């Protein structure tokens, strides 16, 4: 789960990581009131889970009430690379002397947390890595232990952080490691981590990803995830507990198992089709889950045909067939459905489908055959 | 031979008394796996269809000679159950449970490494050595005994490929589901090493998917260390960056971890990569029959 900047900063504040004080707003009036309380100059920041907000015009400095209002009006509802702005964060403008970069991320290859520090803040990590790889100082954090303050100091020296703030920057890096462990974060990035004119070390941004598998022990974070997804199908899928990802095409897809489902998208694309979604019905799907899944997929107005690619292991094909029949009745589906059932109880499943005599149903024996067929029907 | 599990496997199942644990544990026994014990704290002394249940894995090891543990307990307790298995004296731990927090796995991964215990999973379908033993949830009916080793991040995709191999008359030495989580106990490289050493395995099919760099590292390893032919398949060419595709690990961040990058890395090292599960199986059979 990706936290928005203001949520990340609230989490930082709880752990004693210095951030500029700010106020969350969802309307122009709230934003103006927040600006009045904070004083001027202040910054109006779009809250979306994507980078480069500044370049997109999503971060603006307001010198007075009129500017706070006009900036808030401009930014709220703005589209930043596919993300609509519903939230604003108003904070006091900082007097920036230095811009650094600090992060703690999960390094999958080494199976450890990795702390990174650079004096070249404000740019992308990729840009820093490209322009000056030596400028990014990296150290692994040993599992089960916090980042050692001495190690963090070494990193700061190596990164050529200004001498007078080496301790402050090192301490913040140690805090990031602590936050990562305490909050089950797989990514904590501060870019820029600033030094103010008064030589204070402050997190000016906060990018935090929390491991979704660990949410059971972070009930207080649940409110952050309640942000309604911006897509109606994704919202519906979430409500029904389905693993659904919306894509741009017109071929609806349902598979069982994440790998097979991804593979299904690929073969549909290879057949010249354009997948509308990823939907993993999961292991052991029962008929009701299939009904739910079909409802979500077909509620996308772009979808013109649906492919069921099921290889039953634990999932029983007869249950899937029952779901298809039930859904067709309930939703009154007329879209072409291409069904490929293989594996456990596939014969029973195919028999049920044959008996139901659904006019919009097309059986295919193989995955590739089914992909070709659904593309043909979707584009007919 | 085969790898990881075989006729000498003596299985203890943590969570045997749970619904899923009972179902799959007994299915594994029906297949011929020597299921010697179950473990559920507080239920020691009971039995599940004749399989004795103990309070701890250690007791199952001491009293029943268990050497392989399967973990089927709920996610929030699973890392502790794996840790217990590592300390109990078994050689191999196969963790089926999905949804284990990654920070838990960071600790457990290193614990297993330091103890020299082989950990497979979590969030994996398990391991099947056709005709010998089945530990986990892999439906054995889609696989025949044979000489192709399969190692895969994905369950159903493996069944798909295994079934196509079977229809083409080829079988498998062992099928290993390593799981799709960001941190898994055994990676492609660990399993490729075992297949390379296994006399029964003549060739290897490796099934990867987007996320991480395990496939890229495997490509380098294959070039240096694997003499047997390897056929690859990668899922997720159409996955958009930044979106998680079901498996916790299946998310592309930045420019790395894409299906294309993985395919390119494997092909650069001479591994043939099928464009679909069907084609991967066809290439494997073709190599085997040459």
Structure tokens at B9: 């496997």
Domain-embedded: residue A32: yes
Q: In this complex, which of A259, A266, A342 lies closest to B180 when CB atoms are compared?
A: A259
pLDDT for A153: 98
Residues B143 and B285 reside in one and the same domain = yes
Q: In this complex, which of B102, B157, B259 lies closest to A257 when CB atoms are compared?
A: B157
The residue of A219, A262, A309, A343 whose CB has the most chain B CBs within 10 angstroms, and thus the best one to mutate to test that interface, is A262
**CA–CA separation, A95 vs A79, rounded Å?**
29
Model ipTM? 0.90
* A37, burial (CB in 10 Å: exposed 0-12, middle 13-18, buried 19+): exposed
**CA–CA separation, B262 vs B217, rounded Å?**
9
In chain A, the number of structural domains is: 3
* Residue of chain B with shortest Cα separation from A110: B183
Nearest to A343 by CA among A291, A269, A292, A283: A283
**Contact between B109 and A111 using a beta-carbon 8 Å cutoff:** yes
pLDDT for A225: 67
The residue of A263, A309, A317 whose CB has the most chain B CBs within 10 angstroms, and thus the best one to mutate to test that interface, is A263
Counting residues of chain B whose pLDDT is more than 70, the rounded percentage is 95
Residues A295 and A331 reside in one and the same domain = yes
**CA–CA separation, B273 vs B205, rounded Å?**
10
Residues B58 and B152 reside in one and the same domain = no
Per-residue pLDDT of chain A (380 residues; tens, 9 = 90+): 889 999 999 999 999 999 999 999 999 999 999 999 999 999 999 998 877 888 889 999 999 999 999 999 999 999 988 788 999 999 999 999 999 999 999 998 899 999 999 998 877 767 777 778 788 999 999 988 899 999 999 999 999 999 999 999 999 999 999 999 999 999 999 999 999 999 999 999 999 999 989 999 998 888 886 555 568 888 888 888 888 999 999 999 999 888 999 999 999 999 999 999 999 987 666 788 888 999 999 999 999 999 999 998 778 899 999 999 998 888 888 899 999 999 888 999 999 999 999 999 999 999 999 999 999 999 98
**Contact between A213 and B217 using a beta-carbon 8 Å cutoff:** no
Q: In this complex, which of B75, B102, B235 lies closest to A259 when CB atoms are compared?
A: B235
CATH code at position A144:
3.30.470.20
**CA–CA separation, A209 vs A205, rounded Å?**
13
Nearest to A243 by CA among B96, B180, B256: B180
> Do B229 and B269 form a contact (C-beta atoms < 8 A)?
no
Residues A248 and A365 reside in one and the same domain = yes
**Contact between B103 and A181 using a beta-carbon 8 Å cutoff:** yes
Residues spanned by the domain of B267: 139-289
**CA–CA separation, A154 vs A56, rounded Å?**
36
Nearest to A191 by CA among A85, A11, A51, A351: A51
Find chain A residues with C-beta within 8 A of B139's C-beta.
Answer: 312-314, 343-344
Residues B143 and B172 reside in one and the same domain = yes
Structure tokens at A171: 């301490």
**CA–CA separation, A220 vs A217, rounded Å?**
9
The residue of B22, B80, B103 whose CB has the most chain A CBs within 10 angstroms, and thus the best one to mutate to test that interface, is B103
Q: How does pLDDT run across B129-183, given as a tens digit for each residue?
A: 999 999 999 999 899 999 999 999 998 899 999 999 998 899 999 999 999 899 9
Half-sphere exposure of B105 (CA within 13 A, CB side): 30
- In order of A88, B197, B204, B270, the CA distances from B227 in angstroms are 58, 10, 10, 11
- Whether B186 has its CB under 8 Å from any CB of chain A: the answer is no
Residues B105 and B232 reside in one and the same domain = no
Nearest to A262 by CA among B280, B253, B157: B157
Has residue B255 got a pLDDT over 90? Answer: no
Domain-embedded: residue B192: yes
Q: In this complex, which of A144, A267, A343 lies closest to B159 when CB atoms are compared?
A: A343
pLDDT for A18: 97
pTM for this prediction: 0.92
CATH code at position B92:
3.40.50.720
> Do B133 and B7 form a contact (C-beta atoms < 8 A)?
yes
Active centre residues of B (catalytic): 247
**CA–CA separation, A13 vs B187, rounded Å?**
38
Residues spanned by the domain of A120: 96-225
Run of H or E residues at A23: strand A22-25
Residues A267 and A189 reside in one and the same domain = no
Find chain A residues with C-beta within 8 A of B102's C-beta.
Answer: 106, 184, 186, 211, 213-214
**What b/e sequence results for A347-359 when a residue is b if at least 16 CB atoms lie within 10 Å of its CB, and e otherwise?**
ebbbebbeeeebe
Residues A100 and A85 reside in one and the same domain = no
3-state secondary structure of B7: coil
Domain-embedded: residue A338: yes
Mark which residues 42-81 of B lie under 8 Å from A by CB.
75-76
> Do B40 and B68 form a contact (C-beta atoms < 8 A)?
no
Residues A221 and A246 reside in one and the same domain = no
Task: State the nearest Cα–Cα gap between A262 and chain B, in angstroms.
Answer: 5
Find chain B residues with C-beta within 8 A of A126's C-beta.
Answer: 254-255
pLDDT for B240: 79
Q: In this complex, which of A111, A311, A314 lies closest to B106 when CB atoms are compared?
A: A111
Domain-embedded: residue A9: no
Domain-embedded: residue A10: no
- In order of A379, B131, B148, B231, the CA distances from B171 in angstroms are 39, 10, 6, 15
**CA–CA separation, A24 vs A306, rounded Å?**
42
Q: In this complex, which of A106, A186, A262 lies closest to B236 when CB atoms are compared?
A: A262
Task: State the nearest Cα–Cα gap between B235 and chain A, in angstroms.
Answer: 5
Averaged confidence pLDDT in chain B: 93
Reported as a pLDDT band with limits 50, 70 and 90, residue B252 is low
Structure tokens at B231: 């056929």
Neighbours of B265 (CB within 10 A): 22
Number of H helices, E strands in chain B: 9, 14
- In order of A93, A118, A152, B109, B110, the CA distances from A148 in angstroms are 32, 18, 6, 21, 19
**CA–CA separation, A236 vs A297, rounded Å?**
10
pLDDT for A226: 53
Find chain A residues with C-beta within 8 A of B177's C-beta.
Answer: none
* Residue of chain A with shortest Cα separation from B182: A108
Residues B218 and B270 reside in one and the same domain = yes
Choose one of A92, A118, A134: the last residue of a domain. A92
Task: State the nearest Cα–Cα gap between B137 and chain A, in angstroms.
Answer: 8
Nearest to B279 by CA among B205, B189, B183: B205
pLDDT for A284: 65
Strand partners, B216: none
Has residue B208 got a pLDDT over 70? Answer: yes
Has residue B201 got a pLDDT over 80? Answer: yes
- Whether B183 has its CB under 8 Å from any CB of chain A: the answer is yes
pLDDT for B248: 58
Task: State the nearest Cα–Cα gap between A312 and chain B, in angstroms.
Answer: 8
Residues B176 and B244 reside in one and the same domain = yes
**Contact between B137 and A283 using a beta-carbon 8 Å cutoff:** yes
Choose one of A181, A205, A225: the last residue of a domain. A225
3-state secondary structure of B256: strand
Domain-embedded: residue A1: no
Residues A335 and A366 reside in one and the same domain = yes
- In order of A112, B58, B81, B209, B263, the CA distances from B77 in angstroms are 21, 17, 6, 28, 37
pLDDT for A49: 82
pLDDT for A224: 80
Q: In this complex, which of A143, A181, A258 lies closest to B245 when CB atoms are compared?
A: A258
Residues B150 and B277 reside in one and the same domain = yes
Domain-embedded: residue A8: no
pLDDT for A35: 97
Average pLDDT over residues B115-133: 96
- Residue B125 main-chain phi, psi, to 5 deg: -85, -5
Average pLDDT over residues B3-17: 96
Residues B82 and B190 reside in one and the same domain = no
Q: How does pLDDT run across B42-75, given as a tens digit for each residue?
A: 999 999 999 999 999 999 999 999 999 999 899 9
Question: Of A5, A189, A295, A319, which one is the catalytic site residue?
Answer: A189
Has residue B117 got a pLDDT over 70? Answer: yes
Domain-embedded: residue B2: no
**Contact between A111 and B183 using a beta-carbon 8 Å cutoff:** yes
Q: In this complex, which of B154, B183, B233 lies closest to A258 when CB atoms are compared?
A: B154
* Residue of chain B with shortest Cα separation from A316: B139
pLDDT for A69: 97
**CA–CA separation, A7 vs A175, rounded Å?**
17
Active site residue A220: no
Residues B88 and B149 reside in one and the same domain = no
When mean pLDDT is compared across A138-152, A154-168, B247-261, B267-281, the lowest value belongs to B247-261
End-to-end CA distance of chain B: 24
In chain B, the number of structural domains is: 2
The residue of B156, B178, B260, B281 whose CB has the most chain A CBs within 10 angstroms, and thus the best one to mutate to test that interface, is B156
Has residue B246 got a pLDDT over 90? Answer: no
Residues A239 and A354 reside in one and the same domain = yes
Choose one of A225, A260, A287: the last residue of a domain. A225
* B107, burial (CB in 10 Å: exposed 0-12, middle 13-18, buried 19+): middle
Q: How does pLDDT run across A162-199, given as a tens digit for each residue?
A: 999 999 999 999 999 999 999 999 999 999 999 999 99
- A82 sits in the region (left: phi over 0; alpha: psi -120 to 50; else beta) called left
CATH code at position B261:
3.40.50.261
When mean pLDDT is compared across A207-211, A263-267, B88-92, B256-260, the lowest value belongs to B256-260
Residues B90 and B149 reside in one and the same domain = no
Residues A42 and A139 reside in one and the same domain = no
**CA–CA separation, A370 vs A273, rounded Å?**
12
Residues A112 and A183 reside in one and the same domain = yes
Task: State the nearest Cα–Cα gap between A51 and chain B, in angstroms.
Answer: 12
Task: State the nearest Cα–Cα gap between B290 and chain A, in angstroms.
Answer: 25
Indicate the DSSP class of residue A275.
B
Domain-embedded: residue B129: no
Find chain A residues with C-beta within 8 A of B25's C-beta.
Answer: none
Structure tokens at A151: 């190690």
* Cis, peptide link before residue B122, omega less than 30° from 0: yes
Choose one of B88, B120, B152: the last residue of a domain. B120
Has residue B77 got a pLDDT over 60? Answer: yes
Residues A69 and A189 reside in one and the same domain = no
- In order of A275, A297, B10, the CA distances from B57 in angstroms are 47, 45, 12
The residue of B138, B160, B188 whose CB has the most chain A CBs within 10 angstroms, and thus the best one to mutate to test that interface, is B160
**Contact between B101 and A247 using a beta-carbon 8 Å cutoff:** no
Structure tokens at A9: 């900063």
Residues A291 and A334 reside in one and the same domain = yes
**Contact between A269 and B243 using a beta-carbon 8 Å cutoff:** no
**Contact between A262 and B235 using a beta-carbon 8 Å cutoff:** yes
* Residue of chain B with shortest Cα separation from A243: B246
- In order of A181, A291, A346, B19, the CA distances from A317 in angstroms are 42, 14, 5, 21
């Amino acid at each position: 789960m990706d936290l928005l900047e203001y949520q990340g900063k609230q989490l930082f504040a709880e752990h004693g990581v210095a951030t500029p004080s700010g106020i969350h707003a969802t309307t122009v009036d709230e934003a103006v009131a927040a600006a009045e309380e904070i004083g001027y100059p202040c910054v109006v920041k779009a809250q979306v889970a994507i980078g480069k907000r500044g370049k997109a015009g999503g971060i603006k400095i307001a010198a007075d009430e009129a500017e706070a209002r006009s900036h808030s009006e401009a930014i709220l509802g703005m589209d930043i690379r596919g993300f609509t702005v519903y939230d604003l964060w108003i904070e006091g403008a900082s007097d920036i002397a230095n811009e650094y970069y600090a992060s703690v991320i999960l390094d999958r290859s080494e199976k450890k947390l990795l702390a990174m520090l650079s004096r070249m803040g404000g740019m992308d990590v990729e840009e820093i890595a490209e322009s000056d790889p030596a400028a990014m100082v990296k150290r692994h954090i040993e599992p089960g232990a916090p980042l050692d303050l001495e190690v963090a100091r070494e990193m700061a020296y190596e990164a050529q952080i200004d001498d007078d703030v080496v301790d402050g920057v090192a301490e913040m890096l140690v805090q990031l490691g602590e936050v990562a462990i305490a909050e089950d974060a797989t990514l904590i990035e501060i870019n820029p981590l600033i030094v103010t004119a008064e030589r204070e070390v402050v997190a000016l941004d906060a990018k935090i990803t929390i491991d979704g598998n660990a949410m059971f022990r972070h009930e207080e974070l649940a409110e952050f995830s309640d942000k309604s997804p911006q897509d109606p199908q994704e919202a519906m899928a979430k409500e029904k507990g389905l693993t659904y990802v919306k894509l741009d095409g017109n071929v609806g897809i349902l598979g069982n198992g994440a790998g097979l489902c991804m593979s299904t998208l690929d073969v549909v694309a290879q057949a010249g089709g354009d997948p509308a979604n990823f939907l993993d019905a999961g292991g052991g799907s029962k008929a009701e889950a299939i009904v739910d899944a079909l409802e979500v997929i077909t509620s996308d107005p772009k979808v013109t045909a649906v492919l069921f690619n099921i290889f039953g292991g634990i999932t029983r094909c007869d249950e899937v067939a029952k779901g298809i029949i039930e859904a067709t009745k309930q939703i009154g589906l007329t879209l072409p459905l291409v069904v490929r059932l293989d594996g456990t109880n596939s014969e029973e499943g195919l028999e049920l489908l044959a008996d139901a005599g659904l006019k919009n149903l097309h059986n295919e024996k193989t995955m590739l055959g089914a992909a070709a067929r659904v593309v043909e029907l979707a584009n007919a | 031979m085969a790898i990881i599990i075989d006729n000498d496997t003596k299985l203890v199942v943590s969570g045997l008394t749970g619904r899923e644990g009972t179902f799959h544990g007994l299915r594994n026994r029906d297949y011929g796996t020597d299921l010697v014990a179950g473990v559920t704290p507080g239920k020691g002394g009971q039995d599940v269809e004749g399989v004795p249940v103990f309070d701890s894995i250690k007791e199952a090891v001491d009293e029943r000679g268990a050497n392989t543990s399967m973990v089927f307990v709920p996610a929030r307790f699973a890392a502790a159950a794996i840790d217990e298995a590592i300390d109990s004296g078994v050689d191999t731990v196969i963790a089926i449970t999905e949804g284990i927090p990654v920070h838990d796995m960071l600790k457990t991964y290193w614990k297993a490494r330091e103890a020299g215990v082989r950990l497979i999973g979590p969030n994996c379908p398990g391991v099947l050595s056709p005709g010998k033993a089945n530990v986990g949830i892999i439906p054995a009916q889609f696989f025949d005994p044979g000489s192709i080793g399969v190692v895969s991040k994905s369950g159903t995709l493996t069944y798909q490929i295994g079934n196509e191999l079977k229809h083409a008359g080829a079988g498998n030495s062992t099928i290993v589901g390593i799981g799709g989580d960001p941190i898994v106990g055994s990676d492609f490289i660990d399993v490729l090493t075992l297949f390379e050493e296994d006399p029964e395995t003549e060739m290897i099919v490796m099934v990867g998917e987007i996320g991480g760099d395990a496939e890229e590292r495997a490509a380098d390893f294959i070039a240096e260390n694997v003499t047997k032919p390897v056929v690859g398949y990668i899922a997720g060419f159409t996955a958009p960056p930044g979106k998680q595709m079901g498996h916790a690990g299946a998310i592309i961040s930045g420019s790395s971890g894409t299906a294309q990058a993985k395919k390119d890395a494997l092909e650069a090292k001479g591994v043939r990569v099928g464009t679909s599960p069907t084609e991967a199986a066809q290439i494997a059979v073709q190599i085997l029959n040459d």
